[in-house]
């Protein structure tokens, strides 16, 4: 077996406390499973997520960062997810301009009731990162 | 409303006369401009002047000096942070400094009330080391000769040579400098706002004829094209990719001077200087275990990526960061390059319009659909 197939990514899954986390709860209620290497990280609202907290995991050990908040129009605080979308777009644009693999950051809406979508997102993102391979940034000691 | 004034004096003299008579007539209580400190061979710094004599022929003020010891946008923010100035003050700043100030005003870090904003079509500024070595004086004749032709001295900041926003956006008064062949004998003042012309109209000692003609003439266009080409050239030299960035930022000594001089970095406590960026011993141990070593001081790339996330959308490309970097990292080039793509993403131009919201403080419901996977 090649190294790539054995590679188990470390994934941070940032979830808002209303929809994203709710999706996780619904998944749990339905006994749906998602990869164990995906670590949920709960924030109050994706609109309250600082850009540095998207970048920092990629430097300190994560292979990918996924972010899930409420669907457009469903934000508990009305517009947090729209603000988050701009911030994610900003971070991706910076990473893209500097050739630093913007595809290691995902943003996807997951509603409270969408347990299946939550599990699918975690699984799909895990597979996607497995294909990409380990994040070179996290292993460098000279950054 | 007066649209402009042509004065039969050299630009330097005309601007000095303008500022002196604004002070003498009491129309402004002070003038913020560059000036010599500590007499003859002292340094150059922005200062608030209240004495009209500072703008006499032998005065200490140097309003048009091509030098930027600090981005005046940040200084203006500092002057007006706690509230607008009580009395009118004229300020003479470069276009990028004005843009920085506008960006800070949008962030509630200053107020343009009671400020008479005077700027010029900019031919760039010299790096700080030129001023520190007292070599500025001898460069000036060559500088102004080049500016008259609409050209740039090759020793000015690289970021100035690559700057395409050298015509001020929000100035009340614009002094035409770049490409003005008769700069030594004539001065054209463009009065862009009612405020600008109100301050000038009927001012004694400042006699001129109404100005005809456009600021956006051929030399301005030509300079913009040349600078845009050089900008591409500079951007092409940025070493992107992880290896390139590690090579570039590997030189970083972690002094954070780039952050200190950046006008857009206005936080009184920077995240990167906060306890959030101090690690407990076990974190260092984990890092060592995982990475097999650790660079100290750590977080060069993280610091710059974080700073890019915070300022790139409003980066005015003044070049202060590159200028102060003791390790010669071309920060301004990297920030301008990333800034261009980020600003294009939000169709935003920093400092263009004070009523335009900073992209990260607003949103559209229908936009950026491609961001969601």
pLDDT digits (tens, 9 = 90+) for B95-148: 999 999 999 999 999 999 999 999 999 999 999 998 877 788 899 999 999 999
H or E stretch covering B42: none
Find the residue in B nearest to A71 (Cα): B372
Query: Shortest Cα distance from A82 to chain B (angstroms)?
Result: 6
Model pLDDT, residue B39: 60
What ipTM does this complex have?
A: 0.93
pLDDT band at A1 (very low <50, low <70, confident <90, very high): very low
- Provide the percentage of residues in chain B whose pLDDT is more than 70: 98
Residue A50's domain is classified under what CATH number? Answer: 3.40.50
Q: How far is A52 from chain B (nearest CA, A)?
A: 5
For chain A, what is the mean pLDDT?
Answer: 94
Q: Is residue A94 part of a domain?
A: yes
Residue B2 binned pLDDT confidence (cut-offs 50, 70, 90): low
Q: Indicate the pLDDT class of residue A3, thresholds 50, 70 and 90.
A: low
Domain that holds residue A52: 12-133
Which 234-273 residues of chain B touch chain A by CB within 8 A?
Answer: 240-242, 244-246, 249-250, 271
Cross-chain Cβ contact B345/A89 below 8 Å: yes
Task: Identify whether residues B30 and B160 lie together within a single domain.
Answer: yes
Distance CA(A4)–CA(B14), nearest Å, equals 71
Helix, strand, coil tally for chain A in percent (to 5): 50, 15, 35
pLDDT over 90 percentage in chain B: 82
Domain count, chain A: 1
Beta B209-210 vs B30-36: how paired, if at all?
unpaired
Whether residue A118 lies within 8 A of chain B, CB to CB, comes out as no
Whether A4 shows a pLDDT value over 60: the answer reads no
A67 neighbors A49 (Cβ within 8 angstroms): yes
Let me know if residue A7 belongs to a domain.
no
Tell me, yes or no, whether B223 and B77 share the same domain: yes
A16 occurs within a structural domain: yes
Q: Would you give the distance in Å from CA B66 to the centre of its chain?
A: 12
How far apart, in whole angstroms, are the C-alpha atoms of residue B237 and residue B239?
6
Distance from CA of A31 to the nearest CA of B (A): 25
Which residue of A lies nearest to B296 if distances are taken between CA atoms? A142
Closest by Cα among A33, A49, A56 to A135? A56
Residues 6+ apart with CB under 8 A from B205: B17, B20, B21, B24
Q: Is the same domain home to B267 and B350?
A: yes
- Interface check for B275 against chain A (CB to CB < 8 A): the answer is no
Assess contact for A36 and A77: CB atoms under 8 A: no
Flag if B240 and A97 touch (Cβ within 8 Å). yes
A2 domain-assigned:
no
Distance, CA of A38 to CA of A26 (rounded, Å): 17
pLDDT digits (tens, 9 = 90+) for B54-84: 999 889 999 999 999 999 999 999 999 999 9
Q: Which of the listed residues B184, B204, B233 is the one where a domain comes to its end?
A: B233
Mutation target for B interface from A52, A66, A110, A114: give the one with most B CBs within 10 A.
Answer: A52
**CA–CA gap between residue B113 and residue B92 (Å, rounded):** 15
Total structural domains within chain B: 2
Residue B145: which domain range?
4-233
Q: Is residue A42 part of a domain?
A: yes
- Are residue B67 and residue B94 in the same domain, yes or no? yes
Q: Is residue A64 part of a domain?
A: yes
């Amino acid at each position: 077996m090649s190294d790539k197939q054995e590679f188990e990514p470390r994934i941070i899954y940032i979830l808002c406390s209303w929809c994203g986390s709710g999706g996780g709860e619904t998944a749990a209620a339905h006994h749906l499973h998602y990869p164990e290497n995906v670590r949920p990280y709960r924030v109050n609202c994706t609109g309250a997520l600082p850009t540095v907290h998207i970048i920092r995991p990629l430097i300190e050990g994560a292979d990918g960062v996924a972010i899930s908040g409420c669907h457009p129009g469903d934000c508990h605080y009305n517009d947090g997810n729209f603000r988050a979308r701009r911030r994610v777009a900003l971070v991706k644009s910076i990473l893209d301009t500097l050739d630093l693999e913007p595809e290691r950051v995902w943003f996807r809406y997951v509603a409270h009731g969408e347990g299946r979508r939550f599990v699918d997102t975690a699984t799909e993102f895990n597979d996607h990162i497995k294909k990409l391979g380990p994040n070179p940034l996290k292993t460098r000691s000279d950054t | 409303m007066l649209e402009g004034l042509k004065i039969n004096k050299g630009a330097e003299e005309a601007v000095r006369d303008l500022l002196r008579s604004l002070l003498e007539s009491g129309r402004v209580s002070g003038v913020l401009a560059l000036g010599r400190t500590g007499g003859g061979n002292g340094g150059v710094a922005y200062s608030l002047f209240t004495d009209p004599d500072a703008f006499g022929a032998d005065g200490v003020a140097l309003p048009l000096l091509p030098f930027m010891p600090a981005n005046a946008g940040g200084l203006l923010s500092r002057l007006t942070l706690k509230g607008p100035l009580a009395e009118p003050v004229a300020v003479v700043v470069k276009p990028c400094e004005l843009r920085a100030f506008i960006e800070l005003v949008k962030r509630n870090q200053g107020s343009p009330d009671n400020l008479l904003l005077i700027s010029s079509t900019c031919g760039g500024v010299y790096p700080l080391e030129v001023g520190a070595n007292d070599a500025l004086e001898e460069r000036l004749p060559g500088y102004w000769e080049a500016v008259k032709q609409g050209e740039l001295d090759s020793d000015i900041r690289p970021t100035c040579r690559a700057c395409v926003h050298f015509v001020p956006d929000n100035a009340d008064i614009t002094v035409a400098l770049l490409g003005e062949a008769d700069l030594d004998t004539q001065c054209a003042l463009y009065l862009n706002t009612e405020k600008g012309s109100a301050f000038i109209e009927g001012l004694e000692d400042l006699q001129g004829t109404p100005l005809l003609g456009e600021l956006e003439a051929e030399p301005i266009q030509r300079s913009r094209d040349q600078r845009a080409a050089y900008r591409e050239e500079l951007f092409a030299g940025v070493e992107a990719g992880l290896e390139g960035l590690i090579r570039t930022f590997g030189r970083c000594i972690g002094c954070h001077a780039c952050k200190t001089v950046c006008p857009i970095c206005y936080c009184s406590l920077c995240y990167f200087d906060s306890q959030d960026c101090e690690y407990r011993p076990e974190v260092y141990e984990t890092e060592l275990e995982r990475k097999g070593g650790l660079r100290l001081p750590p977080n060069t790339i993280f610091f710059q990526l974080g700073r890019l996330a915070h300022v790139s959308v409003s980066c005015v490309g003044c070049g202060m960061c590159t200028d102060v970097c003791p390790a010669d990292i071309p920060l301004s080039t990297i920030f301008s390059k990333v800034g261009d793509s980020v600003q294009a993403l939000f169709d935003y131009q920093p400092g263009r319009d004070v009523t335009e919201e900073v992209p990260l403080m607003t949103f559209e419901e229908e936009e950026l659909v491609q961001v969601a996977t």
